[in-house]
Amino acid sequence: MLTPPDCLIIGGGLIGMLTARELALAGLQVSLIERGETGRESTWAGGGILSPLYPWRYSNAISDLAKYSQTVYPDLVQALKEETGLDVEWTQSGLLMLGCADIELATQWARQYGAELHLIKGSDVADIAPELSVELSQSEAIWLPKVAQVRNPRFAKALRASIDKLGVSVLTNTAAEKIIIDAGKVTGVKTTSGERLLANKVVLAGGAWSAGLLESVGFELPVEPVRGQMLLYKAQPDTVTRIILNQDRYVIPRRDGRVLVGSTLEYTGFEKQTTNAARIELEAEAQRIVPALAGFPIEAHWAGLRPGSPDGVPFIGAYRDIEGLYLNTGHFRNGVILGPASAAMLASIIVDEPFELSSAGYLY
Ligand SMILES: Cc1cc2nc3c(=O)[nH]c(=O)nc-3n(C[C@H](O)[C@H](O)[C@H](O)COP(=O)(O)OP(=O)(O)OC[C@H]3O[C@@H](n4cnc5c(N)ncnc54)[C@H](O)[C@@H]3O)c2cc1C
């Protein structure tokens, strides 16, 4: 019989893989099980903006994690490149936000978090983003020049290659069916093929599906799927030069010229179909922001399920009702930016090391 790992992680999205990487770097034997292939769910579907949209509208719990991650991202992507040879295209495109009514709140937040924020208007808006429509160039805008992005499907690939190299045992096409609990303590996981994988420490990082696994053993967690649809334009480089946000719809320029347009926010359960209505609306909004996009084809349209949580604050830490079970889930709209911080925080809890942020606000 195989020796059980020190820690078994359920879910191979970016949150599960970042957690596996942190724990492996801390010297633990780690296994990870993934129902399908790693990094193919919300992690793949997302936009990769390394900031919450309108960050001042979130609680300090989100801003603290975001700031920590923003600080470590350049080193993380460099380390991944050295470990795996994969470039995740970390790019400081900046984030231009149009028509924000809450400018006072924004400037206060920027002071508190040391974020570079500029209020701009008139020709300065068009100078920063010449691609912007004439109509929208007239509005006042908030400019965060330091905001970066990563190409999230590549990020997931690099994370997978990294954890493989670090010796994490990754079982794909293996779904956890039930968390096994004995006298209030976790002892492992039963898979859908009936196999029992033993472990005294289990991390639940199942994204939008996390609550279902707890429900199956009579416990609960307020995480629910929230669908987001995106479009991808096959444009030429420099058609769009900045991440531009207007009324909750945004365009993200990739280095090869492709432009992502997102995203809807829909409470439609586990339904992952795309809809024609969303396609029409996203297409119209994209072309309202950058009229030149009308000259390029739409290459893809997809939907992903975000792990929605109350106020978007993820659950990180020991689960209150089951000893040995840990949560790292519920990152909602911000898993790519919050992921490195939340993985480092959870790893510090599991290995009992100090961490620079308090985990008190993320417990359940
Ligand atoms: C359209 C859209 C745009 C987004 N844009 C951004 C953005 O710009 N910036 C940002 O920071 N965030 C963004 N996000 C959010 C971000 O993508 C998510 O918060 C993040 O990917 C969550 O990662 P995760 O690992 O928790 O979930 P997932 O990537 O969904 O991974 C969970 C994994 O668990 C597996 N799993 C589930 N149940 C089981 C089981 N029983 N057994 C084994 N495996 C299981 C699933 O198969 C899946 O692979 C966006 C999301 C969407 C949908």
pLDDT of residue 139: 84
- In DSSP notation, 295-309 reads GS-EEEEEEEEEEE-
pLDDT band at 123; cut points 50, 70, 90: confident
For residue 252, the ligand 1 atom closest to its alpha carbon is 8
* pLDDT, mean of residues 220-233: 98
Res. 2: pLDDT tops 80 = no
* 337 close to ligand 1 (CB < 6 Angstrom): yes
Residue from 309, 328, 313, 306 nearest 42 by CA: 306
Type of residue at 66 = A
Atom 15 in ligand 1: residue holding the nearest Cα: 333
* 46 close to ligand 1 (CB < 6 Angstrom): yes
Domain 95-146+224-308 in CATH 3.30.9.10: yes
Task: For the beta carbon of residue 91, count every other beta carbon within 10 angstroms.
Answer: 17
For residue 213, the ligand 1 atom closest to its alpha carbon is 41
* 261 close to ligand 1 (CB < 6 Angstrom): no
Percent of the chain residues past pLDDT 70, beyond the cut:
99
For residue 332, the ligand 1 atom closest to its alpha carbon is 19
pLDDT of residue 84: 98
pLDDT of residue 269: 98
Atom 31 in ligand 1: residue holding the nearest Cα: 13
pLDDT one-digit tens code per residue, 5-35? 999 999 999 999 999 999 999 999 999 999 9
Number of alpha helices (DSSP H) and beta strands (DSSP E) in the chain: 10, 17
pLDDT of residue 99: 87
Res. 1: pLDDT tops 70 = no
pLDDT of residue 182: 95
* 52 close to ligand 1 (CB < 6 Angstrom): no
pLDDT of residue 321: 86
Res. 38: pLDDT tops 90 = yes
Per-domain residue ranges for the chain? Answer: 7-62+153-223+311-362, 95-146+224-308
Residue from 14, 163, 3 nearest 83 by CA: 163
Beta bridge partners of 301: 231
pLDDT of residue 214: 93
pLDDT one-digit tens code per residue, 54-112? 999 999 999 999 999 999 999 999 999 999 999 999 999 999 999 888 999 999 999 99
* 263 close to ligand 1 (CB < 6 Angstrom): yes
Residue from 24, 65, 28, 302 nearest 161 by CA: 24
pLDDT of residue 217: 87
Q: Find the 108 Cα to ligand 1 centroid distance in Å.
A: 31
Report yes or no: 63 and 117 within 8 Å, Cβ to Cβ: no
Q: Find the 291 Cα to ligand 1 centroid distance in Å.
A: 31
* 333 close to ligand 1 (CB < 6 Angstrom): yes
* 249 close to ligand 1 (CB < 6 Angstrom): no
Domain 7-62+153-223+311-362 in CATH 3.40.190.10: no
* pLDDT, mean of residues 42-47: 97
Mean pLDDT (the chain) is: 97
pLDDT of residue 216: 84
* 335 close to ligand 1 (CB < 6 Angstrom): yes
pLDDT one-digit tens code per residue, 231-273? 999 999 999 999 999 999 999 999 999 999 999 999 999 999 9
pLDDT of residue 252: 98
Measured distance CA(262)–CA(84) in Å, rounded: 30
